[in-house]
């Protein structure tokens, strides 16, 4: 489904990686590992189209993503380092807007269930939540993204406690089971069986 062909990435005049090629099919878990500064986040951003490679291209179902633009965006969920949540709104309001922007129809009940799944029942604005709670609010989106084939997650387990980590692992495993693909970066051992690893 997702194909990276000969990717070169240069940041600040320095080459991060060269000639990187791999394929991610349905039901695959791909873990991107590497030391700090090795280009894990850059690779993820290359895959979702926020960054353009100096050479090579990324293809989705055979088409270069540069040409697909919004059609490709519809098929992926990207959760980066920053939570992607507005401080002044509550987790539920944020999730509602995120779904509207992603073209995913989600009723209030579904949003409530998604938040409950990651153990977040707070109605307070994001500003008043702890780091771990914000992370959970950001990841709650995954519970509503079952239909989206590709998940690109940057450090999904960071700042989470053991219970939340287990829940996210379950979400990821379920998605792979449904035939979706998950590409993620992490420092820790994800505890996910059957994950391929690419070392940068």
Is residue 74 part of the contact set for another protein (CB under 8 A)? yes
Q: Judged by CB under 8 A, which of 20, 32, 76, 195 binds another protein?
A: 76
Is residue 78 part of the contact set for another protein (CB under 8 A)? yes
Task: Give the containing element (helix H, strand E) for 185.
Answer: strand 181-185
Is residue 80 part of the contact set for another protein (CB under 8 A)? yes
Q: Smallest distance from the beta carbon of 194 to another protein, in angstroms?
A: 27
Burial class (CB in 10 A: 0-12, 13-18, 19+), 94: buried
Q: Smallest distance from the beta carbon of 84 to another protein, in angstroms?
A: 4
Is residue 63 part of the contact set for another protein (CB under 8 A)? no
Q: Judged by CB under 8 A, which of 6, 18, 66, 87 binds another protein?
A: 87
Please name the residues in contact with 195: beta carbons below 8 A apart, sequence gap of 6 or more.
29, 30, 31
Rounded to the nearest 5 degrees, what angle is found at the Cα of 72, between the Cα atoms of 68 and 78?
140
Query: Which of 81, 113, 65 is CA-nearest to residue 184?
Result: 81
CA pair distance 174, 59, nearest whole angstrom: 25
Region of 20-28, 76-84, 106-114, 164-172 interacting with another protein (CB under 8 A): 76-84
Is residue 123 part of the contact set for another protein (CB under 8 A)? no
Is residue 84 part of the contact set for another protein (CB under 8 A)? yes
């Amino acid at each position: 489904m997702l194909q990276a062909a000969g990717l070169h990435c240069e940041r600040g005049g320095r080459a991060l990686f060269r000639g990187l090629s791999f394929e991610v099919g349905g039901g695959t878990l791909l873990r991107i590992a590497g030391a700090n500064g090795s280009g894990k986040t850059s690779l993820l951003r290359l895959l979702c189209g926020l960054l353009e490679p100096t050479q090579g291209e990324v293809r989705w179902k055979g088409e270069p993503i540069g040409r697909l633009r919004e059609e490709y965006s519809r098929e992926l969920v990207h959760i980066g380092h920053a939570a992607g949540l507005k401080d002044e709104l509550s987790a539920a309001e944020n999730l509602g807007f995120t779904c509207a922007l992603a073209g995913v129809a989600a009723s209030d009940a579904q949003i409530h269930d998604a938040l409950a799944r990651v153990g977040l029942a707070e109605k307070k604005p994001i500003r008043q939540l702890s780091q771990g709670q914000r992370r959970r609010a950001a990841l709650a989106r995954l519970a509503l993204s079952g239909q989206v084939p590709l998940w690109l997650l940057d450090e999904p387990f960071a700042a989470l406690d053991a219970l939340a980590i287990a829940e996210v692992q379950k979400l990821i495993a379920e998605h792979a089971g449904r035939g979706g693909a998950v590409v993620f970066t992490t420092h820790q051992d994800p505890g996910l069986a059957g994950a391929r690893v690419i070392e940068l």
